[in-house]
Structure 1
Amino acid sequence: MPVGTRQASLAGMSARKIAAWHAAGLIDAETRDRLLAYEADHARPLALWAVSGIGALAIGLGLVSVIAANWEEIPGQLRLGVHLALIVAALGALFAREERLAQASPWAVEALVFVTAALGLTFFGHIGQVYQTSSPLWQPLGVWLALFAPLLLLMGRSWPAAMAVVGGAGWCAWEYATASTGWLAARDPGFAMRLWLAAVTAAPVLFAPLAAWQRARSARPDFWRRLEQLALAYAVGGGTLACGLASGGGYNGEASLLGMAAMALRGAVGVLAGLGVMLARPGISGRMAGAIIAGAGLVLPLAHALEDLTVPAAALFFALWAGIAAAALAAHWRGVFQLAVGVIAMRLIILSFELAGDLLASGFGLILSGFLILGVAWGAVRVSKTFAPRGESEA
């Protein structure tokens, strides 16, 4: 277990639990005394914090209520000016006091960074509300990413900032693709446009090699690790969705050369991202993470080629998640392995329903399906308990 996780676990122990462990012979008296001393030194007045938080929340809700009740009476330019002033003040506090805030509490920096980014995102909606303007959603999202993604990358420390970057990029990319294809719905988008949209929607996975390269070179390795994990999840989610669409005919029978070329390009970006992670982190963890991303990329064109072929598409799904499980075993990622086993079991149940849909219309078929679900769930639990890594290594 990493040192930070161990310390966090010890910090949450109660004196009674520590005494019980000592009475059971699990720890000696010296260890007990050290744990009790640590708990005493790091005790936090949770009740006081809770009362203070409730008071601050009440004040904040009161202010929001007062402003909301008089929203239409406040001039739009004044509201925008106050909104912009809040963003500037938050940015000033970050750049002038980041080190001091980080020494007091790293979470203070993370919270201020996230609030600043949120204020920036809502500012564009505020402009549209004041001036009664509208535009495709990808445009304000793109401007927001250009202005605030560098702030999140430079100062982010935890999940919220990493999620804002990867999630915002993915949201913007797919909104752009949706708006572009909708605008061009009256005619075929053409080869160049399809390739461009494929590259745009695949771009968020490129955060993975960037984050992998930064993990050993930054004072914020946890942030970059989370950014890499989110980019990996984006790649795996894309591969999983592609298999599901192929199994259910979600591509609308479009196994055309144009569609295949677009999926091949999207897959190639994933493969390159996976290779980049392997080069940036040559250890077992980096190699396995890169292999998962590259494998998810390879799945994309294959899934498109298996359009409306239920069993082959399902087999491709199983191959993807079996590969993830194998990588998790090699890298000792217990949680990822258990997730992969659960996903495979769920897909197996869904496949049985797809292949025997007529049986579900009868009571006997429902009984059989119930036993099947129980059997698959039991098998998944047994496999997870038998083969899951005993320890959890850092991804």
Structure 2
Amino acid sequence: MSNRKIAAWRNAGLIDSATAQALIDYEAEHTRPLALWAVFGLGALAIGLGIISVVAANWEQIPGQLRLAVHLALLIGLNATLALRGDDLARISPWVNEALLFVIAVLGLTFFGHLGQVYQTSSPLWKPLAAWLILFGPALLIYGRSWPAAALLIGGSIFCAWDFAAADSGAMFEPERRTHWLIAAAVTALPGLFAPFAAWKRERSARTDFWRQLELTALAYAVGGATLSCIVASFGAFEGDDDLIGSAGQLVRAAAALGFGLLLLIAKPGLSGRVSGLVMAGSGITIALALGVNNVDLLAAALFMALWIGIAAAALAIDARGAFQLAVALVALRLIILSFELASDLLLSGFGLILSGLMILAVAWGAVRVSQAYAPGREKQEQTP
């Protein structure tokens, strides 16, 4: 905070002279020399790039076992630092702890690729990802403090689940064996289980921000799946039965989302828990209903908008301004796309283009007005939708 801003607050009567001086003294004591930090950062970056260049230039000449030993030693050293000094680092800055954890997780992930390169082995990608989740997932859960750790954990889980389900474009499963496809569909639903788990832990941990981000990310996965189901239905892609996005698999994912919604209601009593549970359950219902509106543009669009109108209502209930505005924007965008789907011939004439432009402006104006009229105020703290 600059002294100029503090002086402006004092001159405007927002703070008195004593408070202004206290703020100036505090900022002077806790300020960081950004220019000096930038110089240190540039120096460290230059050293790091130099080391990488030297290693890359001599990569083939370095024995594979030596490379693995250095990689493993680096992992052990960083893990020991996190275990022994993690709390101290977090007190200095939570982001230092988070950055160290992120580096450890990425180094752990690359270790499996390094291992395969040295010993010339190969396997489906989901296998090393599953091993990474087993070995490094607990560290992310124990030491994670913000969204990078949460995003890395959920992202790795989603990629692992879908790669397992795809299994090299379906080579692992025979199409006529429905049981295998149901198992694959159930696996793709598992990342959503992080939502009720995080909600339960959030009430029992001091790292509330991490568990909140983990819950939100898992909830976003479910909502994203429901949204994509509506989009896929509008293209009429739910034709098969025994495949990843066939009716059987979709129903399994829908049932899982409903179950996770119930667990959210149990894990987190109160308004926020009810809203999260209803959004999760609503996503499951949407996934199931998308099968019934397959290849029906109007109904698929209506289902899409119903989902996001429900999310907008949920956001209003807990004063989540950002989620509300996103929902309004997506409903408006889908309405515009639907109008083109139903009247595509408007784009074939100059008069039609004029009408289309006016319609887009009208919908955009309406979305802005709705957002301004009903969005929660900025001063209200956003909570978990």
Matched-pair contact (CA < 8 Å) for 2:175–2:242: no
Deviation at 1:50, TM superposition (A): 1.0
Asked if 1:330 corresponds to 2:310, the answer is no
Deviation at 1:180, TM superposition (A): 6.0
Aligned pairs for 1:376-387 (under 5 A) are: 376-387=363-374
Which of residues 51, 57, 63 in structure 2 aligns to 1:63?
A: 51
Q: What amino acid is the match of 2:9?
A: W
Large movers: runs of 4+ above 6 Å? 255-258
Matched-pair contact (CA < 8 Å) for 1:255–1:305: no
| Residue segments in structure 2 that go unaligned for 5+ positions in a row | none
Structure 1 Cα separation of the partners of residues 290 and 346 of structure 2: 28
Q: What amino acid is the match of 1:111?
A: A
For residues 310-367 of structure 1, the C-alpha deviation after alignment (integer angstroms, 9 at most, x for no partner) is 1101101011000000000011101110111011111111111111222212222222
Structure 1 Cα separation of the partners of residues 308 and 268 of structure 2: 22
Matched-pair contact (CA < 8 Å) for 1:275–1:290: yes
Q: Quote the residue 2:195 is aligned against.
A: 208
Which of residues 144, 149, 167 in structure 1 aligns to 2:137?
A: 149
Which of residues 78, 94, 102 in structure 2 aligns to 1:114?
A: 102
Matched-pair contact (CA < 8 Å) for 1:235–1:296: yes
| Residue segments in structure 1 that go unaligned for 5+ positions in a row | 1-12
Aligned pairs for 1:227-266 (under 5 A) are: 227-251=214-238, 253-254=239-240, 259-266=246-253
Farther-moved stretch of structure 1 (113-122 vs 267-276):
267-276
Q: Quote the residue 2:260 is aligned against.
A: 273
Structure 1 Cα separation of the partners of residues 102 and 205 of structure 2: 19
Structure 2 Cα separation of the partners of residues 293 and 180 of structure 1: 30
Farther-moved stretch of structure 1 (296-305 vs 274-283):
274-283
Q: Quote the residue 1:130 is aligned against.
A: 118
Asked if 1:191 corresponds to 2:185, the answer is no
Residue 366 of structure 1 aligns to a residue in which SS? helix
Matched-pair contact (CA < 8 Å) for 2:178–2:242: no
Which of residues 359, 365, 371 in structure 2 aligns to 1:372?
A: 359
Length-normalised TM-score, structure 1: 0.92
Structure 2 Cα separation of the partners of residues 270 and 342 of structure 1: 25
Residue 73 of structure 1 aligns to a residue in which SS? coil
Deviation at 1:23, TM superposition (A): 1.8
Matched-pair contact (CA < 8 Å) for 1:335–1:392: no
| RMSD between superposed Cα atoms in Å | 1.8
Matched-pair contact (CA < 8 Å) for 2:241–2:248: no
Length-normalised TM-score, structure 2: 0.94
Farther-moved stretch of structure 1 (344-353 vs 221-230):
344-353
Deviation at 1:94, TM superposition (A): 1.7
Matched-pair contact (CA < 8 Å) for 1:215–1:225: yes
Q: Quote the residue 1:221 is aligned against.
A: 208
Structure 1 Cα separation of the partners of residues 172 and 37 of structure 2: 55
Farther-moved stretch of structure 1 (101-110 vs 211-220):
101-110
Matched-pair contact (CA < 8 Å) for 1:260–1:305: no
Deviation at 1:229, TM superposition (A): 0.5
Matched-pair contact (CA < 8 Å) for 2:192–2:257: yes
Asked if 1:358 corresponds to 2:345, the answer is yes
Structure 1 Cα separation of the partners of residues 186 and 7 of structure 2: 59
Structure 1 Cα separation of the partners of residues 366 and 308 of structure 2: 16
Matched-pair contact (CA < 8 Å) for 1:156–1:162: yes
Farther-moved stretch of structure 1 (198-207 vs 69-78):
69-78
Structure 2 Cα separation of the partners of residues 30 and 122 of structure 1: 54
Which of residues 76, 79, 92 in structure 1 aligns to 2:64?
A: 76
Q: What amino acid is the match of 1:270?
A: A
Structure 1 Cα separation of the partners of residues 24 and 176 of structure 2: 68
Is the alpha carbon distance of 1:190 and 1:306 closer, same or farther for their aligned partners in structure 2, counting shifts above 3 Å? farther
How many residues end up aligned between the 2 structures?
381
Matched-pair contact (CA < 8 Å) for 1:255–1:304: no
Structure 2 Cα separation of the partners of residues 184 and 114 of structure 1: 32
Q: Quote the residue 1:105 is aligned against.
A: 93
